[in-house]
Amino acid sequence: MNNNHTLIIGGGIVGATLALKLAQEKMPVTLVDARPACDESTWQDILSKRDARVYALSLASINLLKDVGVWQKIAASKRKADYSQMQVWQLNGMGELLFGESTHEKNRKNVAPDILGSMVEPAVIEHALWQRMSEDTVSEYLTIIAGQKVVNMDWLGAGRGYRITLDDGKAIEAALLVGADGRSSFVRQQAGIELDTLDYNQTAICCAIQTEKPHQATARQAMLPTGTLALLPLADITDADKAEPQYWQSVVWTLPRNQALELMDEDERFVADKLAAATNYELGAIRQIESIASFPLTAQQAKSYVADNLVLIGDAAHGVHPLAGQGLNLGMLDVQTLSEQLAHDFARSGRTLWGSNQTLRAYERLRRPHNSLMMHSFSALNWLFAGSLAQMRPVQQLRSEGMYRVGKIKPLMRLFAKQASGV
């Protein structure tokens, strides 16, 4: 392999996007994913079903996906739900934060709304990524190994990088090893990198719902005493959906762990009625509810993102509270920063040094403080609205007054919207 060979462990959205980014720049890269490859008929079977999970892609993430030739495929599939407005409110207290303009407001002005981002199901993004990775313009520089797990990692010294062994016995050497293998990262564990962790003692209930009123391309987040409740637009996938658009949404409902587990034991209609009441019937009653699931909420961050010839990105490096739906977007910013730093330092070295310690430390300096700030900010917001302390009258008054005053300062609201977009 060439001296700029990169080996990425983990073929999820973040790992695959980095692989495409490097291959487009004619940098040899190998992508190893433990999951078996899907043929097109399997993909179509997966995509025929509505997924309650959805990613809130920021404009920065959309621009990166455009850059690697993936967003074009997502847009062509029409399996996305753009949102032009974001509404944040608390159930008890005054104050509402409203970012952007609704489609109704824009229709009155006869102009297309400026989108703040887009809601896309995980499988839709992954399918588009795998389609792009099979195209001739990138396949010359990209090797994909699917259905194989990494069972061993050996560091060969700064000059050679790593040798990894797969469960079929095959060995691969690379100058740079990238861990993009999720929260339980094997790469991170084998590198001996420790974690800072935070357990919120909360569980999120996730589901897809059809509401009585349309969402009007608005992402909604209610700050409740029990935790946050997000209502996120979903793409209309069936003919019936398209005949009556903008009624399906993804829900992420954060509750104290015991309360969530008790609710998961109830029937779907009971959960739907409880959910509608929790939103104060913001969008009316819930007509249908599908795909109810739950997952515990924790935050974590690697104490280091890098080691000699090794770097962590995405959930392998950090995992945040889903309060603002920024987890994937932070990972995509990792990809953008790492790829830029690699290319910059490679060119500056006369195309001799790839993934040097200096390069990797520069990436860490750029990304870790930002990710730390986001993680702690989400934790602080969660603390401010949920839990017994948050229900004390002085905290309630401070919260209400703060939201009310911030909502009145339009330049500040525009700044927040810009920050959320990532551009």
Domains and CATH numbers, the chain: 6-54+121-197+300-378 (3.50.50.60), 73-120+198-298+385-421 (3.30.9.10)
**Does the structure show a pLDDT above 90 at 91?**
no
> How many CB atoms within 10 Å of residue 369?
10
Cα separation of the two ends of the chain: 36
Residue 145: what are its φ and ψ, rounded to 5°? -120, 110
In tens, the pLDDT along 104-142 reads 555 555 555 588 999 999 999 999 999 999 999 899 999
Going from the C-alpha of 163 to that of each of 152, 174, 235, 352, the distances in angstroms are 8, 7, 43, 20
Round to whole Å and give the CA distance between 50 and 236: 9
Average pLDDT over residues 409-418: 44
Residues 6 or more apart whose CB falls under 8 angstroms from that of 418 comprise none
> Which amino acid is located at 249 in the chain?
Q
Round to whole Å and give the CA distance between 339 and 412: 32
Round to whole Å and give the CA distance between 356 and 348: 12
Q: What pLDDT is recorded for position 162?
A: 97
Element holding 165 (H helix, E strand): strand 162-166
* Strand ranges, E, within 189-338: 195-211, 218-224, 227-233, 248-256, 286-302, 306-307, 310-312, 318-319
pLDDT band at residue 308 using 50, 70 and 90 as cut-offs: very high
Residues 6 or more apart whose CB falls under 8 angstroms from that of 152 comprise 164, 165
Residues 6 or more apart whose CB falls under 8 angstroms from that of 18 comprise 8, 178, 180, 313, 335, 338, 339
Low-confidence winner among 9-18, 62-71, 205-214, 226-235 (lowest mean pLDDT): 226-235
In tens, the pLDDT along 340-372 reads 999 999 999 999 999 999 999 999 999 999 998
Round to whole Å and give the CA distance between 304 and 317: 8
Q: Please provide the DSSP assignment of 106-150 as one string.
A: HHHHTSPPPPSEEEE-HHHHHHHHHHHHTSHHHHTTEEEEES--E
pTM above 0.85, yes or no: yes
In tens, the pLDDT along 190-248 reads 999 999 998 888 999 999 999 999 999 999 988 888 888 999 999 999 999 999 999 99
Round to whole Å and give the CA distance between 227 and 258: 13
Work out the angle at residue 371's Cα, subtended by the Cα atoms of residues 309 and 154, and round it to the nearest 5 degrees: 20
Work out the angle at residue 83's Cα, subtended by the Cα atoms of residues 419 and 122, and round it to the nearest 5 degrees: 90
Q: What pLDDT is recorded for position 129?
A: 98
Q: What pLDDT is recorded for position 95?
A: 56
In the chain, pLDDT over 90 holds for what percent of residues? 72
Higher pLDDT, 91 or 386: 91
Average pLDDT over the chain, rounded to whole? 87
- Give the SS3 label for residue 382: helix
Round to whole Å and give the CA distance between 260 and 387: 14
pLDDT band at residue 385 using 50, 70 and 90 as cut-offs: low
Q: What pLDDT is recorded for position 403?
A: 44
Q: At what angle do helices 327-348 and 59-67 cross, to 10 degrees?
A: 50
Average pLDDT over residues 146-153: 97
